[in-house]
Structure 1
């Protein structure tokens, strides 16, 4: 699905199982569960809805499958990592003076909410404008029409010139998991689990079918810490509240906060 990069997994698979090719099929997140149920694929990497803090039933956002796989319903669900949520802002926006953004900092802003939203979360105090998809939202951010709140990998996928991102640590993260139907488990399913979790060929496979509580701090290749590809990293130290940009600097960058510019 968009925002994942299975090339490394495919390379390791070819090394370990050269006689059994791994076919990678790209699909929209909302179609992943249906593809497994239809038998079009043996397993899928998909996003799960953010876990509700009060234990209420999960309500999938519009960009995710209407049915959330659970072990109670005959699915194997292997948590992979929880991806940090970021806000995409114009490069000269006042929020760029911060290394990270609190949810409260978003109040009063115009928030672009795509029809393929995978978070299902809107901060309080924002003006919501619905847009067709995340790609359109990124284009509108570049034009100064508003801000976009998405998982980090989605922001990278739709990177635009003139925009930058800042993590929002207190926003819900996007949980990713590997799933398949237990009544149609492929003989190499456990081998795939080991590969996506970064285990070596000789390591113990352990119990792959676990609940859907993915934890923060796990990188895309199964290792903890900063992996540079969408896994959570230790949040940078906050440098202060946003302050207006001082004109006349000449390089287009705001004075004051010293946050690193990224795209």
Structure 2
């Protein structure tokens, strides 16, 4: 099976579990930008993809996502996996680093760096926008005190730089991560993959490679004990 992953998603644990459950069918993992994942599935380059959708409340896909998104009404299987928390990437000595979590209102007045491969498509009110080519460039600019960047947490870890810090923005919309494939070309082990990425055990997975639970031991019927013989009372003479 061929599985595409967008930046920020890691296949290590999934690949290990796949090898344990399906040793005769290797899982081939490829990587591509979030904007290219849908086309790769449509072309048949991969059997399935783990990709991002726009956050709730965002009407149009941001520039880092495909313009046409997978939908069950258009012949896609769309399996929600998790929603990733949004974080603010700031310079290490930025005033926002004095708190553990940043409120959206705390970002007012900041310069927000908007990368050309942005996957959020959301800006807090009261910020000044500065467009930059991509996320790696934005992180470099953050380290040079040029502004603040909002990204899913895994992208902040992926592009970690010396001199930057990360703070969770709990009231910002998160980035939904889903597993998708075309229903007319469903791989035989698609449901097994769902179980693996969702962390289900082999016994609870619906995939064809799952092991069926052992049947409960059959209890043999108990042989009824014979009723005791009652001796009729002797007649008195």
TM-score by length of 1: 0.75
Q: Distance in 1 between matches of 2:151 and 2:69?
A: 20
Q: How far does the alpha carbon of each residue in 1:42-97 deviate from its partner, in whole angstroms, 9 at most, with x for none? A: 000000011228xxxx4110001111111111110000000000000111111111
Tell me the residue number matched to 1:14: 19
Match of 1:95 in 2: 96
Is structure 2 residue 41 aligned with structure 1 residue 40?
no
Check if 1:24 corresponds to 2:29.
yes
* Structure 1 segment 126-145 matched on structure 2, within 5 A: 126-145=127-146
Q: How many residues align?
A: 202
Structure 1 segments unaligned to the other structure (5+ residues): 207-263
**In the alignment, is residue 184 of structure 1 matched against residue 185 of structure 2?**
yes
Distance across 1 between alignment mates of 2:205 and 2:100: 39
Which whole-Å CA distance do the structure 2 matches of 1:89 and 1:50 have between them?
Answer: 22
Q: Distance in 1 between matches of 2:68 and 2:117?
A: 16
Q: What is the CA–CA distance in structure 1 between the aligned matches of 2:30 and 2:23, rounded to whole Å?
A: 19
Q: How does 1:221-232 map to 2 (within 5 A)?
A: none
> How high is the TM-score relative to the length of structure 2?
0.83
> Which protein is richer in strand relative to its size?
2
Using the alignment, how far apart are the partners of 1:205 and 1:175 within structure 2?
Answer: 23
What SS class does the counterpart of residue 154 from structure 1 fall into? helix
CA deviation profile, 1:108-147 (whole Å, cap 9, x unmatched): 0011100000000011111110000000000000011111
Structure having the higher Rg: 2
Distance 1:51 1:112 in 2: 21
Contact 2:192 2:205 in 1 (8 A): no
In 2: Cα distance, 1:202 partner to 1:73 partner: 32
What is the RMSD of the two structures over their aligned residues, measured on CA atoms?
Answer: 1.1
Measured in 1, the distance between the counterparts of 2:150 and 2:28 equals 32
How far residue 205 of structure 1 moved from its aligned partner, in angstroms, is 2.5
Question: 1:51-62 to 2 correspondence within 5 Å?
Answer: 51-52=56-57, 58-62=59-63
Paired with 2:31 and 2:15, the residues of 1 have a C-alpha distance of 13
Match runs of 1:1-263 below 5 Å = 1-52=6-57, 58-205=59-206
Aligned to 1:214: none
Cα distance in 2, alignment partners of residues 96 and 109 from structure 1: 14
